[in-house]
């Protein structure tokens, strides 16, 4: 099978799974106790008022009609997730306002993790059974066992409360609007670096909190992968040939270790999103996770559906892309 056929097959599988995600999300609301009308109507609403509400939101129509309408509405380029019952605002606008804030946090956490874990893993593997190795393995053991919300609070306690280095939470804001990296960069270019610094100081603790688990995990993976590779015969052959040790380690052993790590990171994307939800809660970060939890607490099912569809579809898309990259790097997969 050629690469393009593999891509096509993988992409169509992805579309089917996303459709499944949408269907599951739609079904969830109707198998749960309580009609949506109950949550919109006041407690003492009369039967007539209830019917009126059901009519207004189209909840009195057959389920399959509502389902088809929901699925069709979601299709690009509209991506209409419906109207929120309480505020009457568009769900899509809320979800897509929150999404970049969460993405920014997730990307920052991943950067922290990759920047720290791969050097740590390599140092650990090349200095096996030495104090540095023990320090790195201890760190990764503790890191994968620590709940990130607690870690976030401990970091806040130490670095925001005891030593007033970072703010305790929230996003950096300019005139009340949350500041994204692109905005911060624009301020930086227009000669206001203090805005950039404010952005940096706000994202540091949440990013470290969210990134620690992945730092620990990838350190572990890099270490065991490197140990595996360094024990193989081609490494011995390279060394016998007189290849410099740095080249052996980085050009050969590390490169071969990285491929499986990319796959694991794709699979761990769910953990990253789940971790982001709770990290956002700890640091009052107004992203998708905060939106999702607020939606559940306020029984705003349409917003919850929107968040779940975005999370599920995002997961499928990223994993499809990871598969495509993996197959490109490793042509055996497509055969």
- Which parts of this chain interact with another protein (CB under 8 A)? 16-18, 20-21, 24, 28-29, 32-33, 141-142, 144-147, 149-150, 153-154, 156-157, 161, 217, 220-221, 224-225, 228, 263-264, 267-275, 277-278, 281-282, 292-293, 296-297, 301, 304, 308, 311-313, 315-316
Instruction: Using alpha carbons, select from 226, 253, 225 the residue that is nearest to residue 239.
Output: 253
CB of 186 to another protein, least distance (A): 32
CB of 173 to another protein, least distance (A): 22
CB of 213 to another protein, least distance (A): 8
CB of 224 to another protein, least distance (A): 4
Q: For residues 11 and 144, which CB has a smaller minimum distance to another protein in the complex? A: 144
Let me know if 31 is exposed, middle or buried by CB neighbors in 10 A (0-12, 13-18, 19+): exposed
Q: For residues 18 and 179, which CB has a smaller minimum distance to another protein in the complex? A: 18
From residue 111, alpha-carbon distances to 55, 124, 211 in Å are 49, 20, 8
Q: Are 259 and 326 in contact (CB under 8 A)?
A: yes
> How many CA atoms are closer than 13 Å to the CA of 99, on its beta-carbon side?
15
Q: Are 222 and 261 in contact (CB under 8 A)?
A: yes
CB of 316 to another protein, least distance (A): 5
Q: For residues 60 and 271, which CB has a smaller minimum distance to another protein in the complex? A: 271
Q: For residues 17 and 200, which CB has a smaller minimum distance to another protein in the complex? A: 17
> Please, what is the angle between helix 91-126 and helix 269-282, to 10°?
110
Place of tokens 């996303």: 18
How far apart are the C-alpha atoms of 77 and 42, rounded to whole Å?
36
Q: For residues 53 and 295, which CB has a smaller minimum distance to another protein in the complex? A: 295
How far apart are the C-alpha atoms of 287 and 307, rounded to whole Å?
11
Instruction: Using alpha carbons, select from 102, 115, 280 the residue that is nearest to residue 214.
Output: 115
Q: For residues 171 and 278, which CB has a smaller minimum distance to another protein in the complex? A: 278
CB of 232 to another protein, least distance (A): 12
Q: For residues 145 and 175, which CB has a smaller minimum distance to another protein in the complex? A: 145
CB of 184 to another protein, least distance (A): 28
Would you give the end-to-end CA distance of the chain in angstroms? Answer: 5
CB of 14 to another protein, least distance (A): 9
Q: For residues 184 and 320, which CB has a smaller minimum distance to another protein in the complex? A: 320
Q: What are phi and psi of 8, to 5 degrees?
A: -60, -45
Q: Are 73 and 80 in contact (CB under 8 A)?
A: yes
Q: Which residues pair with 173 in a beta bridge?
A: 178
Q: Are 72 and 234 in contact (CB under 8 A)?
A: no
Ramachandran region, residue 137 (left: φ > 0; alpha: ψ -120 to 50; beta: rest): alpha
CB of 220 to another protein, least distance (A): 6
Q: For residues 49 and 158, which CB has a smaller minimum distance to another protein in the complex? A: 158
State both tokens at 41.
């109507």
């Amino acid at each position: 099978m050629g690469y393009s056929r593999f891509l096509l097959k993988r992409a169509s599988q992805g579309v089917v799974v996303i459709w499944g995600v949408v269907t599951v999300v739609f079904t969830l609301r109707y198998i749960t106790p309580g009609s949506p009308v109950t949550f919109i109507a006041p407690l003492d609403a009369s039967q007539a008022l209830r019917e009126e509400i059901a009519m207004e939101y189209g909840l009195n129509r057959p389920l399959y009609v509502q389902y088809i309408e929901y699925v069709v509405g979601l299709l690009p380029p509209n991506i209409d997730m419906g109207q929120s019952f309480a505020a009457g605002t568009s769900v899509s606008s809320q979800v897509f306002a929150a999404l970049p804030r969460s993405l920014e946090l997730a990307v920052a956490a991943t950067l922290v993790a990759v920047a720290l874990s791969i050097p740590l893993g390599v140092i650990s593997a090349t200095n096996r059974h030495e104090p540095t190795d023990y320090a790195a393995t201890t760190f990764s053991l503790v890191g994968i066992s620590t709940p990130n919300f607690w870690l976030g609070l401990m970091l806040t306690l130490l670095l925001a409360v005891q030593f007033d280095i970072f703010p305790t939470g929230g996003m950096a804001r300019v005139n009340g609007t949350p500041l994204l990296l692109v905005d911060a960069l624009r301020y930086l270019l227009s000669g206001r670096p203090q805005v950039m610094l404010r952005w940096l100081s706000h994202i540091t603790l949440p990013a470290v909190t969210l990134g620690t688990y992945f730092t620990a995990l990838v350190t572990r993976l890099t270490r065991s992968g490197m140990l595996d590779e360094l024990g193989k015969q081609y490494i011995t052959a390279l060394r016998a040939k007189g290849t410099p040790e740095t080249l052996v380690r980085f050009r050969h052993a590390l490169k071969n270790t990285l491929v499986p790590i990319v796959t694991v990171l794709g699979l761990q994307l769910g953990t990253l999103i789940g971790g982001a939800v709770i990290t956002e809660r700890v640091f009052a970060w107004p992203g998708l996770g905060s939106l999702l939890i607020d939606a559940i607490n306020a029984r705003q099912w349409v917003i919850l559906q929107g968040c779940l569809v975005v999370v599920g579809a995002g997961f499928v898309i990223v994993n499809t892309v990871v598969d495509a990259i993996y197959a490109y790097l490793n042509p055996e997969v497509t055969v």
